[in-house]
Structure 1
Amino acid sequence: MKNRTQIWKILAFLGAVLFLSDTIYAQQWTSDSHSEYKRDTLPFSQRFIHRLGVEGRAGYIFQTSPFLEYSNHQYKAMKNAYAGHLKYSFQLRPHTVADQAYIGAYQGIGVGYFNFGNPEELGNPLAVYLFQGGRIAQFSPRISLNYEWNFGASFGWKPYDEYDNPENQIIGSKVNAYLNVNLYLKWALSPKFDLMIGTTGSHFSNGNTQYPNSGLNTVDCKVGLVYNFNRRADELAQSWQRPIVPPFPRHVSYDLTLFGSWRKKAVAHEGSSGQVPAPGTYNVFGFSFAPMYNFGYKFRAGVALDGVYDHSANMKESYEEENGFYTPPAKKQMALGLSARGEFVMPYFTVGIGLGANVLHGGGDMKSFYQILALKIDVTRNSYLHIGYNLREFHEPNYLMLGIGYRFNNKRPKLF
């Protein structure tokens, strides 16, 4: 019952983010400095193609742990993964300026049910997520190659428990992040129906907020059918007059992001090569200031100044401390770094990556080469929610980056 309530709350939140974002965009457009570019002023119900899709996936679970290979109550490998999805989305209308600039982008909310063949030790989780996709190549008016990403939360896992579920060394919490990318062919069967066939990759983990955190990874084949409520027959026909996309005003914008999160920490165990988890949960706070050069409608890049305070940094095992672990002073847990950033910009969402290194730090854990994967969700024209993850040395989980941000000097024309 608790999981069901959480799912409905997240569905309501994600729906509000998508639809209030569009409403605020429309209100702000009347005073926007780029009013020479006429956007579509039709109501939301008519401005986009509204779609409802169902999707089935069958795939393989990567054997990354003895638990998945044989060390489970079934005494056999868990290799097969199955999932069913129900998805609502809204898509830019074909043959419009926005469609040309943003490669037929669509976005929406999905629900997925997963079966990994071991409900007793893993559970059959249910995921609620945002997703977005677009066109990579158009082979004919009816056939195209497309991409899509999914990002959300999954509920209903059976996590590790020292007594009740000791073999499950990969999932440490009842709620885990769900990430998915997929590549597929879309065939428009009629003005109402689309058939989709492709491949996907998924990852489930808790972002280092609970131990264990190895996570679960799958690769799948997918087949789906989409119903388009209000797509017209002429929107599937070949267009001989391509709309002219307004020239993009190249410029430098400035993103200021503030974030925070919590994490678990494992430290080296004296006298062995292993690690032991430190007790408790530790706070992380940080900021990023990123001047970004906007090359066009879909891409910007720049360099960011990154600051972080990680209360778990440079902890070590110590028998002299009451809890068995030594926590260093704050100056050993703070760092300033520089990172190269690149962002793929689409309606409502921006996906970014960063590669950086700390240049001012307290040594130890803070002397690191780090990587960032982030999703920015537009709230207004210039403000956004930030959901990101920080890795060390490309493989070591570090911390979540949950925050808010504001974009200064944003001169991007709005086409939808």
Structure 2
Amino acid sequence: MNTIISLRLFLVLGIMIFSLPSLGQQKYQKILELSYENGPMISNGKEWADEIRDLVSYRGADIRLGWRKTSNNFYNKLYRYPTFGIGFSTALPYYPEIGRPQGVYGFGEFPFSNKNLDKRLYLAYFAQLGLGFNLNPYDSLDNPLNQYIGSALNAYIHFGFKANYRLNQDFELFSTIGLKHYSNGATKRPNAGINLAPIAFGVRYNIDKISPEPLRSFDYPELEKRGYWNFALYLGSKNYEVGDPSYFRGGFGVNYLWDASYKYRIGLGLDYFIAPGFESRYPGREGTFSNQSSLAIVGSWEWKLNDRLYMPIGLGAYLHYNSENQESWFYERIGVRYKINEHLFGGLQIKAHKAKADFFEFTIGYTIPGKIQKVVGN
């Protein structure tokens, strides 16, 4: 099961790296960052969680190699010349309770304003997604206290805010604050998830100078508003109880989305989910179509990061669900997808109930663009 998790997360990491600029595609500025971080572990309020929190005082380090896009194309200007790249994060001490959490990831960093790009101090927000490893998972004999995580391989997620102070053309100082999360998406329980809230201080080295200088203002092109039909297949697995096997989880979604702006699409659709293995999980009870499936209406939002990479976000309400499958009446979804061509896309999302992971959705899909209904802008 850990192999399946790692393959899925490496696929997503590969998608993010593949979306980075290559030498022949466009101009960019290479950067190298090194930081030290320190912060608390966040407890979920249970007695065992408070005990681990009091034992773990998190200290870590991070190194990142990034490419800041400087070509004056539309998406670069729209997102204020963002930086994409890859990185490695590690805890410095080894903690017997949780191990030495480490992660390899792809990241994106987005300045808040064009106006501050040439100032010494500027602010940004960032997101990191990758593969977490080197954790010491729950074991009923060797590590019974750690009910945060049940697997050595996990998803690694880190997001937050960043302040940069430019010393000269070559060096910058920075500080970040955010939330760092390790989770296996309920593929192996226990999976309360490890949450850390570190504050980091670091130095950035600009390997290249910015050339040409990014534009501070620009004219928006015409936005061709149209509808899109999205058909998506979800594949995954779920572990319902500690010590039990994992079972296949999957589903199918149909969504209609509309261009709301240059950055966002919004829409509405239906999700159908299946949860086989009912008779194995509940011996003596009959598994039926009804108790092994669920149907929901879902509101969808797509955040376009560039012409190929985007984040799907959804909030769904079930028309039919089963508490035996650990479902509540609504669910949330967030992830990353990559547009392979005009029609095909792939990616990974996490589906959750009340912020508690249901399963990772490895997704492949097909988009049918509609006719242009409206043109706005210049």
Q: Under TM normalisation by the shorter chain, which class is it?
A: 0.7 to 0.9
Distance, in Å, in 1 between the alignment partners of 2:19 and 2:371 is: 18
Q: Structure 1 residues 226 and 314 mapped into 2: Cα distance closer, same or farther (>3 Å)?
A: farther
C-alpha offsets along residues 325-369 of structure 1, whole Å, 9 cap, x if unaligned?
A: x46223321122111111221024322321112224568656721
The correspondence for 1:297, drawn from 262, 271, 294, is 262
Specify the alignment match of 1:124 in structure 2.
Answer: 100
- List gaps (5 residues or longer) in structure 2: 373-378
Indicate yes or no: 2:290 matched with 1:310: no
The correspondence for 1:406, drawn from 356, 360, 366, is 366
Q: Is the 8 A contact 2:263 2:303 kept in 1?
A: yes
Specify the alignment match of 1:369 in structure 2.
Answer: 330
SS across alignment from 2:290: helix
Q: Is the 8 A contact 1:257 1:386 kept in 2?
A: no
Indicate yes or no: 2:316 matched with 1:338: no
Distance, in Å, in 2 between the alignment partners of 1:192 and 1:410 is: 47
Specify the alignment match of 2:86 in structure 1.
Answer: 109
- Cα deviation for residue 98 of structure 1 reads 3.3
The amino acid across from 2:15 in the alignment is: V
Taking structure 2 as the reference length, the TM-score comes to 0.84
Q: Is the 8 A contact 2:276 2:292 kept in 1?
A: yes
Q: Structure 1 residues 327 and 134 mapped into 2: Cα distance closer, same or farther (>3 Å)?
A: farther
Specify the alignment match of 1:196 in structure 2.
Answer: 174
Q: Structure 1 residues 243 and 313 mapped into 2: Cα distance closer, same or farther (>3 Å)?
A: farther
Distance, in Å, in 2 between the alignment partners of 1:411 and 1:150 is: 35
The amino acid across from 2:30 in the alignment is: H
Specify the alignment match of 1:167 in structure 2.
Answer: 145
Q: Structure 1 residues 284 and 103 mapped into 2: Cα distance closer, same or farther (>3 Å)?
A: same
- Cα deviation for residue 105 of structure 1 reads 2.0
Give matches, 1:239-388, under 5 Å: 242-266=217-241, 277=242, 279-311=244-276, 317-318=282-283, 321=284, 326=285, 328-347=287-306, 348-360=308-320, 365=325, 368-388=329-349
Specify the alignment match of 2:375 in structure 1.
Answer: none
Specify the alignment match of 1:214 in structure 2.
Answer: 192
SS across alignment from 2:213: helix
- List gaps (5 residues or longer) in structure 1: 27-41, 267-276
Q: Structure 1 residues 191 and 43 mapped into 2: Cα distance closer, same or farther (>3 Å)?
A: farther
Distance, in Å, in 2 between the alignment partners of 1:293 and 1:88 is: 35
Distance, in Å, in 2 between the alignment partners of 1:160 and 1:134 is: 37
Specify the alignment match of 1:32 in structure 2.
Answer: none
Distance, in Å, in 1 between the alignment partners of 2:27 and 2:55 is: 46
Specify the alignment match of 2:163 in structure 1.
Answer: 185
Q: Structure 1 residues 344 and 219 mapped into 2: Cα distance closer, same or farther (>3 Å)?
A: same
Taking structure 1 as the reference length, the TM-score comes to 0.77
- Cα deviation for residue 112 of structure 1 reads 0.7
The amino acid across from 2:40 in the alignment is: Y
Q: Structure 1 residues 52 and 399 mapped into 2: Cα distance closer, same or farther (>3 Å)?
A: same
Aligned length: 365
C-alpha offsets along residues 74-115 of structure 1, whole Å, 9 cap, x if unaligned?
A: xx8135212211112222217554332223222121111124
Q: Is the 8 A contact 2:235 2:251 kept in 1?
A: yes
SS across alignment from 2:112: strand
SS across alignment from 1:354: strand
Residue range with higher mean Cα deviation, 52-61 or 277-286: 277-286
Indicate yes or no: 2:20 matched with 1:17: no
Q: Is the 8 A contact 1:138 1:145 kept in 2?
A: no
Q: Structure 1 residues 179 and 313 mapped into 2: Cα distance closer, same or farther (>3 Å)?
A: farther
Q: Percent identity?
A: 21
